[in-house]
Every structure is written in C-alpha cells, then in structure tokens.
Amino acid sequence: MELIAIKAFTDNYIWMLHKDGQAIVVDPGDAAPVLHALKERRLELAAILVTHHHADHVGGLAELAPLLRQTETSPPIYGPAAERIPGPHIALAGGDRLSLLGQALRVLEVPGHTAGHIAYLIDAPSDGGEPILFCGDTLFSGGCGRLFEGTAAQMYNSLQTLAALPGGTRVCCAHEYTLSNLRFACAVEPGNKVLTDYQRWCEAQRAMDLPTLPSSIGRELAVNPFLRCEEVEVRHSALQWHDQHLTHGTSLIEPTPAQSALAAGASSIAVFACLRQWKNEFK
C-alpha cells in the first residue's frame, strides 16, 4: 500500500492510495495529473472519494468516471449527500462505512468550509500504519478552511471531531497552504517553540519542492492555532486583535459585549471566530 500526494493546479493535492494495482483518489479537481499518476504506476482506478462540491475538488470527475468499473447502481464515486456533486455517485453521510481496497473507511461529517463537507477516515490501514484521514478543506496544516457556507461554531465542532482522533493519524489535506498558515500561526503564538521548529522543517521541505503533508493530528494539536483556542497565548492574541480591529472602525465606545465576553472567559468558539476573521485579513 502506498499513499501519494498528486500535485494539481498551483497548490492542490489529490491524494491517491493504491494497493495490489488498484487505486482510489480523493478530490480529483483535475483529471490530467491523476491519469498521469495511474499510467506511471500501471494502476487501475477503483474508486473516487469527494469531500465537498468545490470545483477544485470535483473538476476531474467527468473525465475519470469512464475509467471506473460500472456497478449496478452507480460507478464507485462517493460524495457528501448534503451537497450537489456532478454526475452519478453514491451519497454518504456521517457514520456511513465503506470498504475499498480491502480498507474499512468511515465517513465523518465536518461542516464549516461548506455546508455538507465530509471527511474519510481509515482507522486501521492494512499497511499496519497509523490511521489515514482525508479531510479536504476542513483542516490544513497550521490552519483550517475558510467559512464559505458554515458558521464558526460548526467549523469549530468539526475541527474538534478531527482533533479527537488518535495523535498519529495521518492528516491528508487538500492544499499545500502550510507555510502561509504557519506565518499566521507565528503571529498568534510567537512563543510556541514547537511551531517555530516545525516552520523551519516545512521551509526546508518546500525549498526541495516536497510536500509538508501528510501532517498528523498530534502535530496539529501542537502548532495549529485553530485547534488551540484554549491556550492562554492564543486567547490573548485573538482578544488583542479583536480590540484593535474594533477600535479602528468604532472609536471611543464602551467595550462591546463580544469584547468583554472574550476578555472574561469567552467561549472557545468566540476565540475561534476571531482567529478565522483575523486570518482572512492577515497579510
């Protein structure tokens, strides 16, 4: 069994898992790099997994579908039930289980980036290695997806679901956003030594044109500010940004309820919402 990150567009990864000449791919936004990878390794495409409906994740479906063996109902293309995925596919929801390449997969519901976003988890891969998570645009190394359709509370809860997985879980994200995420993470937590060490390692990887992924849940718990909303330094930085941000637009007013709430032990969701907003504006 081999797990490969196929590069697509400028910073997407289409994850491929293959075993005994059969491959599955996750979020093929573009068919060409997948076709190339299949040919290079003489693999047959056995199934396609889709995490959410964005074009950079489904754009290659139409061209790849004919490569799949047609089953009675539908070609083995799997996608979230709550989203519109182009072409015939099997609709999945949280808790669903499937078996591919002799691997048991389970579906996690992780709304936030999009309303029906799902992730795929292999708890016990047959290579005897750590679990494998395909999380699309929900969790990135050092960051998380933007809130296009969901709320901060939904995304926070989705990330908590992923954070609860075993620390060794291989985190296969759909984008190589790590370095820019880590620049932000360092602004939030300049005192995090694990973070600065990891940043140096990632810079070296990228300098050699190598992926920084897969990451692991354990590492993300140590470096990713969006999984660290309980940490004092993270809360403090989020609050400080929130204060400065508000003073610009609305000077000389009493602290808003949101501000005082954050100061006085705001929920982690409020901290998360601040971080997400801050990251959106971070240059």
Contact 108, 124 (CB under 8 A): no
* 137 is an active site residue: yes
**Residue 53, interface with Zn ion (CB under 5 A)?**
no
* 11 is an active site residue: no
* 54 is an active site residue: yes
Contact 17, 37 (CB under 8 A): no
**Residue 137, interface with Zn ion (CB under 5 A)?**
yes
Q: Which residues bind Fe ion (CB under 5 A)?
A: 56, 137
Residues β-bridged to residue 45: 23
Among candidate residues 18, 53, 89, 113, the one labeled active-site is 113
Contact 103, 121 (CB under 8 A): no
Among candidate residues 54, 89, 117, 242, the one labeled active-site is 54
Q: How far is the CB of 155 from Zn ion (least distance, A)?
A: 13
Which residues of 87-226 form beta strands (DSSP E)? 90-92, 97-100, 103-109, 118-122, 132-136, 139-140, 143-144, 170-173, 215-216
Q: How far is the CB of 242 from Fe ion (least distance, A)?
A: 28
Closer residue to Fe ion, CB minimum distance, 104 or 179: 179
Q: Helices in 122-210 by DSSP H: which ranges?
A: 152-163, 178-188, 193-207
Among candidate residues 57, 89, 117, 242, the one labeled active-site is 57
Contact 166, 211 (CB under 8 A): no
Tell me how many degrees the CA angle 137-280-250 measures, rounded to the nearest 5: 150
Closer residue to Zn ion, CB minimum distance, 61 or 270: 61
CA R_g for the chain: 20
Q: Which of 18, 54, 235, 242 forms a contact with Zn ion (CB under 5 A)?
A: 54
* 113 is an active site residue: yes
From 37-45, 52-60, 117-125, 207-215, give the range in contact with Zn ion by CB under 5 A. 52-60
Q: How far is the CB of 12 from Fe ion (least distance, A)?
A: 6
Q: Tell me whether residue 69 is exposed, middle or buried, using C-beta atoms within 10 angstroms of its C-beta: 0 to 12, 13 to 18, 19 or more.
A: exposed
From 51-59, 74-82, 204-212, 273-281, give the range in contact with Zn ion by CB under 5 A. 51-59
**Residue 117, interface with Zn ion (CB under 5 A)?**
no
Q: How far is the CB of 61 from Zn ion (least distance, A)?
A: 15
Closer residue to Zn ion, CB minimum distance, 58 or 101: 58
Q: How far is the CB of 280 from Zn ion (least distance, A)?
A: 15
Q: Give the rounded distance of the alpha carbon of 261 from its chain centre.
A: 29
* 242 is an active site residue: no
Tell me how many degrees the CA angle 201-204-205 measures, rounded to the nearest 5: 85
Closer residue to Fe ion, CB minimum distance, 137 or 220: 137
Q: Cite the active site residues.
A: 52, 54, 56-57, 113, 137, 175
Applying CB under 5 A, the residues found at the interface with Zn ion are 54, 137
